[in-house]
């Protein structure tokens, strides 16, 4: 398997009721994020998930939107964050990516909420497009598998719906 290959995943499985998922999408790169959302929806369809989608202004707003959503306990079983940051010629890329990743990780560990993190941090739009196509390389689909695995873990331990 080359570094560009993604593992082949079977259909998602999850015991219990159909999960309720909130997707937080930062559609600055609309086509890329929409492609990732299509990949996620295919995975969620395997478990009949109920999916709500909320858009935020940009990637930087993803952690705050997640924190706000967590103030509505019991409404969703898991959260999927989708966005894309393309590297430019300044340090802005590094600061934004670090802020988003650290913000989400801090919320994740503090809340123990099931979260799938689908933020593309790429050097070019072509790289982002390759990771949002309707194939097994779709990072939205991968992040959807991750949130379902986290929901399964939480359910298995009796700490989530």
Distant-in-sequence, close-in-space partners of 69: CB < 8 Å, separation ≥ 6: 22, 24, 54, 75, 76, 79
Active site residues: 92
| Nearest one of 61, 83, 81 to 132, comparing CA atoms | 83
- Could you write out the DSSP letters of every residue in 32-49? HHHHHHHHHHHHHHTTT-
Contact yes or no for 80/144 (Cβ under 8 A):
yes
- Which residue in the block uniquely carries the two structure tokens 């590094």? 94
């Amino acid at each position: 398997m080359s570094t560009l290959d993604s593992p082949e995943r079977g259909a998602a499985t999850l015991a219990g009721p159909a999960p309720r998922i909130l997707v937080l999408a930062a559609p600055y790169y609309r086509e890329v994020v929409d492609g990732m959302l299509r990949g996620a929806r295919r995975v969620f369809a395997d478990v009949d998930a109920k999916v709500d989608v909320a858009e935020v202004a940009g990637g930087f707003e993803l952690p705050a939107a997640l924190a706000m959503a967590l103030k509505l306990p019991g409404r969703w079983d898991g959260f999927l964050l989708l966005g894309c940051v393309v590297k430019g010629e300044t340090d802005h890329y590094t600061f934004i990516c670090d802020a988003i990743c650290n913000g989400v990780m801090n919320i994740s560990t503090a809340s123990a909420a099931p979260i799938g993190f689908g933020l593309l941090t790429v050097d070019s739009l072509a790289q982002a497009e390759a990771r949002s196509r309707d194939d097994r390389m779709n990072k939205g689909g991968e992040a959807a598998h991750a949130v379902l695995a986290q929901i399964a873990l939480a359910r298995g331990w009796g700490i989530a719906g």
